[in-house]
Structure 1
Amino acid sequence: MTADILRVRLGVLRRVATVLFGIALVVGVAVALRDADWAAVRDLAGPAELSLLGLALLVNSVGLVLGMLSWRHLLAGLGSPVGVWTAARIFFVGMITKFVPGRFWALIANIRMGRTAGVTPARMATVYVLNIAVMSLTGLTVGLVAAPSVLGGRGGWLLLAALPVLACAIRPELANRWAAALARLLRRPAPAPAGHRDLRYAIAAQAVSWLVAGLQFWLVAVAAGAPPAASFPVCVGAFGLAAVVGSFVVFVPDGIGVREGILMVALTGLLPLPTAGAVVLVSRLICTVSEIASAGVALLAAELIRRRARPPAPAVPAGTESPAGTELPASV
């Protein structure tokens, strides 16, 4: 088999895989929203409520961008700095793979896209694991503010999540030691030590990302009639806690059902049960739309930048032969 034929076949396989992935993504999103009670959402369709929901959509998109910047700082700290739009393309495509059945699609997508950006698979795998750790620990730490409302007296264990976050913020080399130990466990080469400054930035950006995402949930709850002051700490903390706990449940995509259950418990003291259900459903829809839209914007922007950076094809002088071997007329 010649190299040209192999290249063509690999290109066809990549296109087929891309189409299949897109179909799986659409099916995954449909399954995520299939069993929802949309009748309960009608009460949130007034002009005032819709303006708050639009603001919630914008706020959640800002939270996603902060999460991407946290991931980018981790990658830069490991010695592989990439541009913002390159990071956004890799991060958001990996993020929306959570709707596809299977746990490690994000890692596979990150490794494949990282190669095109000059990042080694080992480094992409390291940043994948570090990012999960940073997201989980900061999300549980933000969840501390809602623990009394959600878990009652059993929420004290969440204090343990704050300790590693504080320790890594004060002594970032601890994260490097953890990554090296993980590499030894997996029998992989030890990753390059992450820069202390980038680690601190990553932790701070991810913590703020959870706070902003919780603000999205609070805006939806206020649109449904929740008292603004009393619901703010509950909504902000419960969202981070529910999202992290839901991500640990590997047999459902994006913690569907688990996240909603925790958020429903948090809202029962603030809203009637049907209204709380509508808030949780609308929040899930806002998150899904903003995630897919962010991925689309990142991919489109990255492609436009790539095309602008592509050098123009050299002009063929008039009267010379074209690459196909035919003589071009002088008027071309």
Structure 2
Amino acid sequence: MSADTGEQGAVRTRGAAVKVAVRWLLIAVAVFFLGRALYLQWPAVSDALAEIPLGAAVASVVAAALAVSISGQQQRSILAALGHRLPLRPWMRVFYLAQLGKYVPGTAWAYVAQMELGRKKGIDRASSVLAILLGAGLTVLLALVAGLLVLGAPSLSWLPVAAQVAVVVLAAAAVLVLAVRPGVVGAVTRRVPALASRLGEVFPAAGSLRPAIGWSAAAWGAYGVHLWLLAAPTGLTGADGLRLAVGGFAIAWVCGFLAVLVPAGVGVREAVLVGLLAGSIGSGPALAVAVLSRFLIIAAEVGLLALVPFLPSAVGGRSGAATVVEP
């Protein structure tokens, strides 16, 4: 072996070591901010727990875990439509690790983490970027459609009912187009100069987005049940309570999502939830429910990540790579 070959091997080894170190450093930073968020919220959470029965909190965290899992399946189904099929366990490891990035200031960290972790599983960056964009778009659109459940709510009186209806109708129309003609995504990306070089090639005709649309709708249902289980002991009961919980959580999430400089929309989502729920259960219980909801969703995400190594091998190997198929 020549000296040049040996030197090149040493450089590659050092480069790989640096990448591993940077990856673990980013995970450590994300865990730090996550722990900080939990620590800062605990005083309010402990007060909220005194008002909400333990059984309701346990049932709520189970519903939150289901909602997070469904959200992960939405992204996985979009990647399958793009031609990348990843076994369940490796995908869960990618998705739940990436979720830690939400708690680092700046919305993009979770997406960057998902893209880089996916690359390790054989998913090219262009496919990851498009899956993330489509996933975010579908999530927002379905959340706005869920807003139909709270049309005309007193807390939304600042926005004329006609405007509320228009938003819901436009969102529903966009979802319908994506369900019937998914190839429109490729047509659009090819016409945007910044995206045309790679993304238009990734999604020329596109596989069906209907599974992803179904997963998105199911996720909002599960998140709404999570919130309703917490709020029911404070008076948000029956079908009307469930309706308000589903629609209210979806609208509050969109507001938090649009606050791009706030980690995971902390504070914004809670403020909107309080405004939507206060008229039904009072501002004090509404604040307790909103804060506890955030805490339990974080607990669900951490718990799901911790469970990944214990999944049976039947759902995919620990380091399984994506299978590339024709969309």
Question: TM-score, normalising length from structure 2?
Answer: 0.83
Q: Which of 278, 281, 285 does residue 271 from structure 1 map onto?
A: 281
Shift of residue 11 of structure 1? 4.0
With over 3 angstroms needed to count, the CA separation of the structure-2 counterparts of 1:181 and 1:240, relative to structure 1, is farther
* Structure 1 segments of 4+ aligned residues over 6 angstroms from their partners: none
The CA distance in 2 between the partners of 1:295 and 1:247, in whole Å, is 22
Shift of residue 97 of structure 1? 0.9
The CA distance in 2 between the partners of 1:204 and 1:109, in whole Å, is 25
Matched, 1:25 2:30: yes
Shift of residue 219 of structure 1? 0.5
Match of 1:243 in 2: 253
Deviations 1:109-137 (A, max 9, x none): 22322222222111111111111111111
What letter corresponds to residue 56 of structure 2 in structure 1?
L
Of 205-214 and 228-237, more deviation after overlay is shown by 228-237
SS at match of 1:223: helix
With over 3 angstroms needed to count, the CA separation of the structure-2 counterparts of 1:123 and 1:19, relative to structure 1, is closer
Match of 1:72 in 2: 76
Shift of residue 300 of structure 1? 5.9
The CA distance in 2 between the partners of 1:82 and 1:194, in whole Å, is 21
Match of 1:85 in 2: 89
Q: Which of 14, 19, 43 does residue 50 from structure 2 map onto?
A: 43
Match of 1:320 in 2: none
What letter corresponds to residue 195 of structure 2 in structure 1?
L
With over 3 angstroms needed to count, the CA separation of the structure-2 counterparts of 1:300 and 1:44, relative to structure 1, is same
Shift of residue 263 of structure 1? 0.4
SS at match of 1:191: helix
Shift of residue 106 of structure 1? 2.5
What letter corresponds to residue 200 of structure 1 in structure 2?
R
Segments of structure 2 that go 5 or more residues without pairing to the other structure are 1-5, 321-327
Shift of residue 305 of structure 1? 5.6
Report the count of equivalent residues: 305
Compute the RMSD of aligned alpha carbons: 2.6
Contact map agreement 1:144 1:237 (CA 8 A) in 2: yes
The CA distance in 2 between the partners of 1:76 and 1:215, in whole Å, is 28
SS at match of 1:208: helix
Of 222-231 and 123-132, more deviation after overlay is shown by 222-231
Matched, 1:193 2:203: yes
Of 160-169 and 107-116, more deviation after overlay is shown by 107-116
The CA distance in 2 between the partners of 1:216 and 1:3, in whole Å, is 54
Match of 1:297 in 2: 307
Match of 1:210 in 2: 220
Deviations 1:128-171 (A, max 9, x none): 11111111111111122123224134533432222201222233
Match of 1:322 in 2: none
The CA distance in 2 between the partners of 1:229 and 1:145, in whole Å, is 11
Matched, 1:5 2:48: no
The CA distance in 2 between the partners of 1:55 and 1:195, in whole Å, is 42
Match of 1:167 in 2: 177
The CA distance in 1 between the partners of 2:214 and 2:80, in whole Å, is 15
Shift of residue 245 of structure 1? 1.9
Match of 1:133 in 2: 137
Contact map agreement 1:60 1:212 (CA 8 A) in 2: yes
The CA distance in 1 between the partners of 2:110 and 2:300, in whole Å, is 18
The CA distance in 1 between the partners of 2:46 and 2:203, in whole Å, is 52
Shift of residue 12 of structure 1? 3.4
Contact map agreement 1:220 1:279 (CA 8 A) in 2: yes
The CA distance in 1 between the partners of 2:190 and 2:56, in whole Å, is 45
The CA distance in 2 between the partners of 1:193 and 1:112, in whole Å, is 20
Contact map agreement 2:102 2:110 (CA 8 A) in 1: yes
Match of 2:232 in 1: 222
The CA distance in 2 between the partners of 1:299 and 1:180, in whole Å, is 40
SS at match of 1:226: coil
What letter corresponds to residue 304 of structure 2 in structure 1?
S
Contact map agreement 1:245 1:259 (CA 8 A) in 2: yes
Q: Which has the higher contact order (CA 8 A, sep 6+)?
A: 2
Percentage of pairs with the same residue: 25
The CA distance in 2 between the partners of 1:220 and 1:18, in whole Å, is 36
Match of 2:324 in 1: none
Question: TM-score, normalising length from structure 1?
Answer: 0.82
Deviations 1:78-125 (A, max 9, x none): 111221222222222222211112332233222322222222111111
SS at match of 1:250: coil
Segments of structure 1 that go 5 or more residues without pairing to the other structure are 310-332
With over 3 angstroms needed to count, the CA separation of the structure-2 counterparts of 1:22 and 1:199, relative to structure 1, is same
